[in-house]
Amino acid sequence: MHNYLQKNKQTNIKAIKANAIAIGVMDSGVGGLTVMQHIHRLLPHEHLNYVADSQYAPYGSLSPESITDRCFTIADFLIEQNVKALVVACNTATAASIQLMRAKYALPIIGMEPAVKPAALASKNGIIGVLATVGTLKSAQFAALLTNYGQDIQVHTQGCIGLVECIERGEIHAASTKALIAEYCAPLLEAGADTIVLGCTHYPFVRDVIQGVVGEGVTVIDTGEAVAKHLQATLEVQSLLTSTEEEADVLVWTNNTAAYRDAVIQQLWGDNAVVRRIALR
């Protein structure tokens, strides 16, 4: 990893521009909109620039080097759009690339991690289930989480192949999506999990479906709110919070070429957002 950083690191580390005013949020697709919703509720006057790298979703099918290349490309673009902070709203990208990004870019970068610690505190029987992409479950970061917080609990993991793609198409309540969720939750329920972690930012969009499958007696946890609070605290410490009370602009960039892309983004965002097409190598 060190050699990869040295090969790709620029001589002049990209810093915050003097006129930077927006918060950049990036994900392999539309999943990070769940995190941006929390940010928008907590910081309603902060302008938001989002990049959905949907042509490459999900990132779990890419090598760590390819994921890092995608992250660098998107971060470069967002910095050119005058962002003052970056939120990597993707668990797989965080695991593969966050350290390299922080070494390369001189602005605050906030990442994700599956909520194993809060799940351990919430669980009554000490049995936790994690729904995530295969890429996240294979990562060293996730292994470290289990080492740090999973010693006194049982953690059962389930890779959810195909679920991200369903959400990318806006098929939130489709029968095929519900069938996938039932299939992936079944082993966790059979293991006795009373708490389930949503280990992918796409999954909160189907949280109600998941809750319906696992029942009200099972606690479902995601990390979007915690990430928003972490971002707020970071901006405050670095004196980067906006001082205005003007209405914030929300701009969503996507490289999805499908005809349904705008409708899906508006459906998932739940409010008006300006959607623009972007071509990133």
- Pairwise CA distance, residues 34 & 39, whole Å: 9
Boundaries of domain holding 103: 2-112+225-277
Q: Model's pTM, two decimal places? A: 0.90
Q: What is the pLDDT of residues 131-185, one digit of tens each?
A: 998 888 888 788 777 777 767 899 999 999 999 999 999 999 999 999 999 999 9
Contact 128, 219 (CB under 8 A): no
**182 and 262 in one domain?**
no
**199 and 135 in one domain?**
yes
pLDDT at position 18: 61
Q: What is the pLDDT of residues 243-265, one digit of tens each?
A: 888 889 999 999 999 989 999 99
- Pairwise CA distance, residues 116 & 119, whole Å: 5
**123 and 77 in one domain?**
no
**31 and 95 in one domain?**
yes
CATH of the domain at 41: 3.40.50.1860
Choose the catalytic residue: 71, 90, 166, 185: 90
Choose the catalytic residue: 71, 160, 166, 200: 200
**107 and 7 in one domain?**
yes
**190 and 63 in one domain?**
no
pLDDT at position 144: 78
Nearest Cα neighbor of 200 from 257, 237, 162, 231 is 162
**96 and 124 in one domain?**
no
**163 and 106 in one domain?**
no
| Residue 236: burial class (beta carbons within 10 Å; 0-12, 13-18, 19+) | exposed
Contact 203, 35 (CB under 8 A): no
CB atoms within 10 A of CB 218: 18
Residue 90 annotated among the catalytic residues of the structure: yes
**240 and 211 in one domain?**
no
Range in 18-22, 67-71, 201-205 with the lowest mean pLDDT: 18-22
Q: What is the pLDDT of residues 156-165, one digit of tens each?
A: 999 999 999 9
